[in-house]
């Protein structure tokens, strides 16, 4: 496979790190968070006596601009070439201080961050002396580590300016359109022969009342007429390889041809599946007048004017049951084929059921409608008005207790639903009805192969999982891969579209500049030491990250380990098996760890 | 419990057109100052109606505990007008407790009631005017027949109510002779005391109601005991009947005026919705007050033999005839009996621990 160029972005400006080390140590008070427990003066004083330490200071807030100015000044005026900062968690301010080093002209990685807040002052409040001692040894270990630190340069990979969108439902289409609007190319890979996904159905959609099919058609017209979007229909993905900026997707077309699609980023918009009730669940499969919601929507559309007729019977009353296959409870509901129950709420079924009940009432006002729920979750903007309208339409609602399930019984041609009703003072109610509609929820689509190829994380619900629901809602842990719409979990159309736009913008921002920065903490091989034993590639879990190559080293051809910096995650599994210590994770070498342990153990 | 959707449609014929909008949040019950733990309304009643629990409704005393403060309707987030629903339930129950079925017929066909009332009035009047005998004697007989007729009607109601709320459950005749129960029942009956239970007591309404009630009761006493003989006696300022008649007429007219005005302006919840029979009820009350007073004043001014007095008196009696025959037993007028009766039965239930 032809590879995109990977190159390093030079950070080093000042070459003085090659000279005799001059370490500066800064101990931060964190405004009392640290100094109330740790004797910061003593820490600074102890460290000033440590070898190779040229300057040792303590200050109230190192992250403040005055604090940062100290660092810059010491580097520029006092010849400091390595820095240790003892402060809060690196998650908070590591980048801040790297920036200060960079501004002063020093390689930003010649810096060690020691956490003496979360790891010392906050956890040893009652032992001030012990805390101070611990802080001193941790900072000393930091000095030992930074003394053995090499300057590092961040890695950049060249990116293909195309986004591959897998799945052509509303989410996939919206994502592709947004990508195109941002000036990039998009490719939609759809397994069926049309765009639109679940919206290729009859009936209308809340909250606009448009026909589902016309929502799908409007978007698909736009997609098909865009010269920046290419759609592959009837296409099955057989493999995905590569890394951020440079993915390759192997696709098998219906005509048996194979195709390779290159993309800098991937958006997964494979959607959801309807929950399928098992035989006998609320009578489903035992009686043809027990339907799922999607089946009912079809049936309602098909029936002509006058009387509601289904399967040769006039339907005078219809009962809707909520939460079928959703919000299941361990020990009460039967687990699915995977042995699991669906604990989540499918979110769209409440409003969708009620919208359908209203449509039924509009078309056949004389049909009696019953609705058995446990909570009405018409949560979205204006969704409540559907609920209100249903009440006004004389739909009679019953609220079952959370842990009770209604039963559907057949008595000749009659269908009887029995349920406890919270609204009627917990009495047992009996509803005679001609038809039962099951409000089936959403389940994850079967995309086992894609999950396998891309090592995608799934939540306990089985949907794809984002990194953080609020902070990084459309990214997965894998670099360059985004999720859009119901592949991530139950959403309605509006929410799917919003998520898709977000994913598209994230992907476009990633690829916009043409290359992608990556952290430099990846494995590096000392080719002199490498014996070519081939132990390390076997330990690596990221395919393509670590391979063996034939190479000329010091005039001799030999087999050495080779790291693809874009695929390496810097986990260090390889370093653990290398006897001659020829492979190390940059910034986290075994020599550094040895020295740190020694410094701590000395006390 | 079998769900029956027909029932709520039936109740809606008596008003409460908006009640389907109720989503059972219970706000109405929470704000209702008269609802109690063991006598909870309006939501519970609404729910029974929604699922068609006809038996539960018919054996409930709750509708009579409601005085239509209207606070529930002000609070309802769904604009279901629960207060109006309670009113409609009372109309419904009256028609159910009425064995003759006439109440129901009148509620459904208010025009029929109007025609009947006007018809009876006209027939009586024509008959009275053409009557050659001693009209004062005839009037005495008519007026003495009223109590018998009304007692019969009331007995029918009271018995059905007793049967539906107590007898059908206990399967035996139960009574309470507890003094405090009897006292409470009487006080409620005389003062409609629970009005003051409404947290923002609508004093205007209470006073208007009390004026009409007392004025009307006085009129009843005056006529049923046949205290007036305007064609025989000449009444003067110092007669004992003078303050009685003036008070009764004033009470009815002043109170009735306020009630009509409010129905017209529809500002207050309890006056927002009017069933056509409500109008007839108030209008007739008014006419009784006016005709009694007119007869009396004419008598004071011209003496018992004046032609004007005779005509006025005949009109007065004709109105009363129509009123007693049609309005009293077959409209919500009867609720002045149901309310104290409900209090008695409620205490009886408690005493005998009938769920
Ligand atoms: C009964 C019901 C009624 C609803 N009613 C409403 C409503 O009234 N209003 C509303 O806003 N929302 C409603 N929704 C929700 C709405 O249907 C979804 O939000 C919307 O369809 C999600 O679109 P999507 O593109 O994410 O998924 P989908 O529509 O499922 O599209 C996924 C696409 O990906 C393709 N695909 C799947 N796997 C692969 C693969 N491995 N490779 C290639 N392609 C693949 C599929 O063929 C499909 O085209 C309803 C949902 C249900 C279940
Ligand atoms: S949206 Fe409503 S019906 Fe669907 S799972 Fe949630 S609560 Fe149940
Ligand atoms: S009548 Fe209104 S306030 Fe009372 S339960 Fe119904 S919706 Fe709630």
pLDDT at B150: 84
pTM for the structure as a whole = 0.80
- What ligand is nearest to the CA atom of residue A166? 1
Inform me whether the C-beta atom of residue B3 falls under 8 Å from chain A C-beta atoms.
yes
Tokens 């081939």, located at residue: A534
Residues of B with CB below 8 A from A429's CB? 1-3, 51
Q: What is the pLDDT of residues A333-366, one digit of tens each?
A: 999 888 999 999 999 999 999 999 999 999 999 9
pLDDT at A2: 46
The architecture that CATH gives domain B7-97 is: Orthogonal Bundle (1.10)
Distance CA B263, CA B271 (A): 5
**What is A276-442's CATH number?**
3.50.50.60
Does the beta carbon of A346 lie inside 6 Å of ligand 2? yes
* Residue B56 Cα to ligand 3 middle (Å): 19
Does the beta carbon of A326 lie inside 6 Å of ligand 2? yes
* Residue A420 Cα to ligand 2 middle (Å): 18
Closest CB to B51 among A388, A394, A429: A429
State CA B336 to chain mean position distance: 5
Q: Long-range contact list for A60-65, CB < 8 A, 24+ apart?
A: A60/A28, A60/A29, A60/A31, A61/A28, A61/A29, A61/A30, A61/A31, A62/A26, A62/A28, A62/A87, A62/A93, A62/A97, A63/A28, A63/A87, A63/A92, A63/A93, A63/A96, A63/A97
Determine the distance in angstroms separating the CA of B196 from the nearest CA of chain A, rounded to an integer. 29
- Residue extent(s) of CATH 3.40.50 domains in chain A: 1-154
Q: What is the pLDDT of residues B68-104, one digit of tens each?
A: 888 999 999 999 999 999 999 998 998 888 888 888 8
Contacts of B149 (CB under 8 A, 6+ apart): B324, B325
**What is A1-154's CATH number?**
3.40.50
Domain positions in chain B are 7-97, 102-352
Q: Is the pLDDT of residue B35 over 80?
A: yes
Q: Which of A277, A292, A294, A327 to mutate to test the pocket of ligand 2 (most atoms within 8 A of CB)?
A: A327
Ligand 3 atom index nearest CA of B75 = 3
Nearest CA to ligand 3 atom 7: B22
- Whether the bond into A207 is cis, omega within 30 of 0: yes
pLDDT at A571: 92
Residues of B with CB below 8 A from A371's CB? none
Structure tokens that stand for B16 in this block: 């409460």
* Residue B19 Cα to ligand 2 middle (Å): 26
User: In 3D, which of B258, B256, B247 has the Cα closest to residue B203?
Assistant: B258
- Residue extent(s) of CATH 3.30.70.20 domains in chain A: 522-585
Closest CB to B5 among A368, A399, A424: A368
Per DSSP, the three-state class of A148 is coil
Does the beta carbon of A378 lie inside 6 Å of ligand 2? no
Residues of B with CB below 8 A from A399's CB? 24
Distance CA B140, CA B135 (A): 8
Q: Is the pLDDT of residue B267 over 80?
A: no
User: CB A430 to CB B47 under 8 A?
Assistant: no
- Ligand 1 binding pocket, CB closer than 6 Å: A 166-172, 189-192, 197-199, 205-206, 237, 269-272, 274, 293-294, 348, 352, 355, 442, 445, 447, 450, 485-486, 491-494, 496
Per DSSP, the three-state class of A433 is strand
Does the beta carbon of B26 lie inside 6 Å of ligand 3? yes
Does the beta carbon of A323 lie inside 6 Å of ligand 2? yes
The H or E element containing residue B211 is helix B203-224
CATH class assigned to A162-271+445-512: alpha beta
Residues of A with CB below 8 A from B12's CB? none
Q: Is the pLDDT of residue A310 over 50?
A: yes
Q: What is the pLDDT of residues A164-203, one digit of tens each?
A: 999 999 999 999 999 999 999 999 999 999 999 999 999 9
Mean pLDDT of B24-49: 93
Q: What is the pLDDT of residues B207-232, one digit of tens each?
A: 887 888 888 888 878 877 788 888 88
Residues of B with CB below 8 A from A409's CB? none
Band of pLDDT at residue B273, cut at 50, 70 and 90: low
- Bridge partner residues of B53 (DSSP): none
Query: For A389, which residue in chain B has the nearest alpha carbon?
Result: B21
Determine the distance in angstroms separating the CA of B21 from the nearest CA of chain A, rounded to an integer. 5
A503 and A164 Cβ atoms separated by less than 8 Å: no
pLDDT at A12: 52
pLDDT at B193: 62
User: In 3D, which of A449, A445, A452, A472 has the Cα closest to residue A269?
Assistant: A445
Contacts of B126 (CB under 8 A, 6+ apart): none
User: CB A387 to CB B23 under 8 A?
Assistant: yes
Q: Cβ of A307: how many Cβ atoms within 10 Å? A: 13
User: In 3D, which of B96, B108, B123 has the Cα closest to residue B325?
Assistant: B123
- Residue extent(s) of CATH 3.50.50.60 domains in chain A: 162-271+445-512, 276-442
Q: What is the pLDDT of residues A12-53, one digit of tens each?
A: 556 666 788 999 999 999 999 999 999 999 999 999 999 999
Determine the distance in angstroms separating the CA of B3 from the nearest CA of chain A, rounded to an integer. 5
Closest CB to A424 among B5, B22, B51: B51
Does the beta carbon of B82 lie inside 6 Å of ligand 3? yes
Half-sphere exposure of A36 (CA within 13 A, CB side): 11
Does the beta carbon of A440 lie inside 6 Å of ligand 2? no
- The dihedrals phi and psi of A321, each to the nearest 5 degrees, come to -115, 125
Distance CA B212, CA A63 (A): 82
Distance CA B223, CA B295 (A): 13
Strands (E), A67-206: 82-87, 111-115, 154-158, 162-166, 185-189
From first CA to last CA, the distance across chain A in angstroms is 53
* Residue A212 Cα to ligand 1 middle (Å): 11
- What ligand is nearest to the CA atom of residue A215? 1
User: CB A424 to CB B20 under 8 A?
Assistant: no
Whether ipTM tops 0.90, in short, is no
Q: What is the pLDDT of residues A197-255, one digit of tens each?
A: 999 999 999 999 999 999 999 999 999 999 999 999 999 999 999 889 999 999 999 88
Distance CA B123, CA B30 (A): 51
The H or E element containing residue B186 is helix B179-191
CA distances from A377 to A348, A381, A392, B111 (A): 9, 12, 18, 46
DSSP 8-state class, residue B266: -
Closest CB to B21 among A370, A388, A428: A388
Was domain A522-585 assigned CATH 3.30.70.20? yes
A368 and A375 Cβ atoms separated by less than 8 Å: no
pLDDT at A1: 42
pLDDT at B174: 82
Inform me whether the C-beta atom of residue B2 falls under 8 Å from chain A C-beta atoms.
yes
* Residue A304 Cα to ligand 1 middle (Å): 28
**B311 against B101, higher pLDDT:** B311
Structure tokens that stand for A295 in this block: 């089946």
Pairing of strands A435-440, A258-263: unpaired
Q: Long-range contact list for B307-312, CB < 8 A, 24+ apart?
A: B309/B230, B309/B231, B310/B135, B310/B231, B311/B129
- Of the given ranges (A285-289, A467-471, B307-311), which has the lowest mean pLDDT? A467-471
Closest CB to A391 among B20, B47, B53: B20
- Bridge partner residues of B90 (DSSP): none
Structure tokens that stand for B303 in this block: 């003496």
DSSP 8-state class, residue B350: H
Closest CB to A423 among B5, B20, B47: B47
Q: What is the pLDDT of residues A79-137, one digit of tens each?
A: 999 999 999 999 889 989 999 999 999 999 999 999 999 999 999 999 999 999 999 99
Band of pLDDT at residue B157, cut at 50, 70 and 90: confident
A458 and A487 Cβ atoms separated by less than 8 Å: no
Determine the distance in angstroms separating the CA of A429 from the nearest CA of chain B, rounded to an integer. 5
Inform me whether the C-beta atom of residue B192 falls under 8 Å from chain A C-beta atoms.
no
Q: Is the pLDDT of residue B338 over 90?
A: no
Strands (E), B76-180: none
State CA A592 to chain mean position distance: 33
pLDDT at A3: 52
Strands (E), A168-275: 185-189, 229-232, 236-243, 246-252, 258-263, 265-268, 272-274
Q: Cβ of B199: how many Cβ atoms within 10 Å? A: 11
Q: Report the length, in residues, of chain A.
A: 603
Q: How many A×B Cβ pairs under 8 Å? A: 46
A28 and A85 Cβ atoms separated by less than 8 Å: yes
Q: What is the mean pLDDT of chain A?
A: 93
Share of residues in chain B with pLDDT > 70 (%): 92
* Residue B60 Cα to ligand 3 middle (Å): 19
Structure tokens that stand for A249 in this block: 């997707």
- In chain A, which residues touch B (CB < 8 A)? 368, 370, 387-388, 391-394, 396-397, 399, 421, 423-425, 427-432
Four-CA torsion B106, B111, B116, B122, nearest 10 degrees: 150
Closest CB to A427 among B1, B22, B50: B1
């Amino acid at each position: 496979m032809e590879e995109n160029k990977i190159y390093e972005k030079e950070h080093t400006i000042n070459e003085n790190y090659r000279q005799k080390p001059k370490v500066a140590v800064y101990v931060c008070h964190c405004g009392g968070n640290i100094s109330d427990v740790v004797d910061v003066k003593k820490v600074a004083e102890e460290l000033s006596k440590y070898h190779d330490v040229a300057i040792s200071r303590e200050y109230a807030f190192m992250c403040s601009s005055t604090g940062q100015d100290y660092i810059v000044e010491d580097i520029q005026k006092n010849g400091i070439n390595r820095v240790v900062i003892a402060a809060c968690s690196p998650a908070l301010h590591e980048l801040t201080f790297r920036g200060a080093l960079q501004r002063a002209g020093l390689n930003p990685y010649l810096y060690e961050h020691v956490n003496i807040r979360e790891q010392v002052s906050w956890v040893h409040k009652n032992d001030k002396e012990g805390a101070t001692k611990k802080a001193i040894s941790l900072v000393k270990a930091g000095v030992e580590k930074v003394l053995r630190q090499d300057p590092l340069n961040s890695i950049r990979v060249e990116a293909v300016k195309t986004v591959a969108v897998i799945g052509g439902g509303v989410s996939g289409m919206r994502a592709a359109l947004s990508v195109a609007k941002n000036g990039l190319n998009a490719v939609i890979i759809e397994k069926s022969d049309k765009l639109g996904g679940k919206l290729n159905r009859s009936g209308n959609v809340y909250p606009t009342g448009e026909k589902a099919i016309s929502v799908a058609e409007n978007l698909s017209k736009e997609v098909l007429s865009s010269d920046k979007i290419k759609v592959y229909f009837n296409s099955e993905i057989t493999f995905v390889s590569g890394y951020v900026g440079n993915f390759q997707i192997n696709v098998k077309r219906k005509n048996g041809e194979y195709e390779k699609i290159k993309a800098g980023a991937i958006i997964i918009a494979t959607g959801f599946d309807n929950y399928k009730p098992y035989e006998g669940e609320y009578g489903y499969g035992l009686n043809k007048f027990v339907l799922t919601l999607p089946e009912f929507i079809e049936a309602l559309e098909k029936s002509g004017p006058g009387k509601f007729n289904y399967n040769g019977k006039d339907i005078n009353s219809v009962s809707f049951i909520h939460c079928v296959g959703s919000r299941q409870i361990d020990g009460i509901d039967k687990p699915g084929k995977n042995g699991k129950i669906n604990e989540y709420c499918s979110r769209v079924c409440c409003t969708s059921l009620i919208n359908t009940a209203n449509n039924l009432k509009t078309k056949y006002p004389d049909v009696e409608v019953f609705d058995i729920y446990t909570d009405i979750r018409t949560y979205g903007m204006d969704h409540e008005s559907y609920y209100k309208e249903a009440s006004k339409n004389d739909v009679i609602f019953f609220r079952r207790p959370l842990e009770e399930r209604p039963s559907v019984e057949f008595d000749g041609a009659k269908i009887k639903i029995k349920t406890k009703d919270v609204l009627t003072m917990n009495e047992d109610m009996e509803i005679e009805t001609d038809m039962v509609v099951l409000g089936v929820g959403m389940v994850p689509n079967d995309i086992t192969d894609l999950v396998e190829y891309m090592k995608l994380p799934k939540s306990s619900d089985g949907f794809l999982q984002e990194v953080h629901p609020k902070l990084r809602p459309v990214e997965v842990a894998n670099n360059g891969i985004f999720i859009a719409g119901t592949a991530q979990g139950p959403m309605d159309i509006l929410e799917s579209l919003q998520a898709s736009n977000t994913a598209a913008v994230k992907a476009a921002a990633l690829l916009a500049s043409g290359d992608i920065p990556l952290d430099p903490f990846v494995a590096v091989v000392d080719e002199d030491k490498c014996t070519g034993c081939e132990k390390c590639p076997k330990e690596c879990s990221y395919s393509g990250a670590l391979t063996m190559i034939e190479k000329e080293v010091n005039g001799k051809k030999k087999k050495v380990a080779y790291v693809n910096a874009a695929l390496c995650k810097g986990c260090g599994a390889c370093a653990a098996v290398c006897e001659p210590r020829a492979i190390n994770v940059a910034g986290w070498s075994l020599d550094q760890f040895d020295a740190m342990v020694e410094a701590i153990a000395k006390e | 419990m079998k769900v029956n959707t027909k029932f709520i449609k039936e109740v809606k014929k008596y008003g409460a057109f908006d009640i389907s909008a109720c989503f059972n949040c219970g706000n109405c019950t929470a704000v209702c100052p008269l609802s109690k733990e063991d006598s909870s309304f309006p939501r519970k009643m609404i729910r029974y109606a929604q699922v068609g629990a006809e038996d539960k409704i018919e054996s409930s005393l709750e509708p009579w505990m409601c005085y239509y403060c209207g606070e529930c309707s002000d609070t309802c987030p769904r604009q279901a007008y629960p207060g109006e629903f309670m009113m409609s339930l009372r109309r419904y129950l009256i028609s159910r407790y009425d064995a003759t079925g006439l109440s129901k017929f009148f509620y459904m066909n208010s025009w029929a009631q109007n025609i009947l009332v006007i018809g009876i009035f006209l027939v009586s009047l024509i008959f009275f005017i053409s009557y050659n005998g001693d009209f004062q004697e005839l009037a005495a007989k008519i007026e003495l027949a009223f109590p018998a007729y009304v007692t019969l009607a009331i007995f029918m109601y009271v018995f059905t109510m007793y049967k539906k709320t107590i007898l059908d459950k206990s399967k035996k005749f139960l009574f309470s002779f507890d003094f405090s129960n009897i006292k409470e029942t009487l006080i409620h009956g005389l003062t409609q005391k629970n009005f003051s239970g409404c947290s923002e007591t609508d004093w205007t309404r209470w006073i208007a109601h009390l004026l009409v009630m007392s004025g009307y009761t006085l009129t009843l006493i005056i006529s049923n005991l046949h205290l007036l003989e305007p064609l025989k006696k000449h009444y003067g300022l110092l007669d004992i009947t003078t303050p009685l008649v003036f008070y009764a007429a004033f009470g009815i007219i002043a109170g009735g005026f306020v009630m009509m005005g409010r129905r017209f302006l529809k500002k207050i919840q309890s006056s927002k919705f009017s069933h056509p029979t409500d109008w007839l009820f108030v209008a007739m009350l008014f006419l009784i007050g006016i005709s009694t007073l007119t007869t009396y004043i004419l008598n004071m001014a011209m003496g018992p033999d004046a032609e004007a007095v005779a005509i006025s008196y005949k009109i007065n009696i004709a109105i009363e005839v129509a009123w007693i025959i049609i309005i009293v037993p077959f409209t919500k007028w009867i609720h002045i009996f149901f309310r104290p009766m409900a209090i008695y039965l409620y205490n009886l239930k408690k005493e005998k621990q009938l769920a």
